A and B are shown apart, each in its own frame.
Chain A
Amino acid sequence: KQEVTQIPAALSVPEGENLVLNCSFTDSAIYNLQWFRQDPGKGLTSLLLIQSSQREQTSGRLNASLDKSSGRSTLYIAASQPGDSATYLCAVIGGNNRLAFGKGNQVVVIP
């Protein structure tokens, strides 16, 4: 069974600092990895999808890397802003089409 871990569970950073969020997974036989953002009481917003053949994806201030062999992905958010405060979820997709989620990184950006 795929296990997805996100550490740390919560972190606070001052505005302007770069954010680094880590995700690890136990089974490297994945198709894709997807990062989501969730605001309190809201649904999940897709940020980036990395296919298993890719090593990274970029969208604006966001960059996500994938190292399948070591079972790791990292989400970088450059020059963090208070509006980046949210919970960030990592999910891996295996051959059974099931998204396996981590518990998330709860981020607070301090103005």
Chain B
Amino acid sequence: DAGVIQSPRHEVTEMGQEVTLRCKPISGHDYLFWYRQTMMRGLELLIYFNNNVPIDDSGMPEDRFSAKMPNASFSTLKIQPSEPRDSAVYFCASSLRGAGEAFFGQGTRLTVV
């Protein structure tokens, strides 16, 4: 398996623009997680899905953030409108069970100018 695949690897956008991050989990994994990493706050869970259903979105910072998982092999994290404080590395991870070993993608480095 190719592991968790995220795209794009880097994204630079202007404040106010819409940003969409994409993730393909490991085939067969039924849990998918979105994390954000910053120097100040470290890694924070934004939202996670089980069998394509959002279970806990309490980490989503504002209504500007939304996430979907239309099928077992694809998820998106959207920010609309984007702001400079959204600049961070966004990671997607998947696991076979909720408390099972988590595998991370390479991340998307987002810069909002």
Complex Cα–Cα for A36 and B105 (A): 13
The A interface, classified by DSSP as helix, strand, loop or mixed, is strand
Is the beta-carbon distance between A96 and B56 smaller than 8 angstroms?
Answer: yes
A11 at the interface (CB under 8 A from B): no
State whether A97 touches B106 (Cβ < 8 A): no
Q: Say whether B99 contacts A101, CB under 8 Å.
A: no
Interface size in chain B (residues, C-beta < 8 A): 23
Query: 1/0 per residue A9-36: CB within 8 Å of B?
Result: 0000000000000000000000110101
Report the tally of A-B residue pairs with Cβ distances under 8 A: 53
- Please report the C-alpha to C-alpha distance between residue A93 and residue B69 in the assembled complex, in whole angstroms: 22
Q: Is B45 in contact with A98, judged by CB distance below 8 angstroms?
A: yes
A40-84, CB < 8 A from B:
41-46, 49
Question: A residues touching B (Cβ–Cβ < 8 Å)?
Answer: 31-32, 34, 36, 41-46, 49, 89, 91, 93, 96-99, 101-104
10 contacts between A and B (CB under 8 A): A34-B102, A43-B105, A44-B93, A46-B102, A49-B100, A49-B101, A91-B43, A97-B48, A97-B50, A99-B33
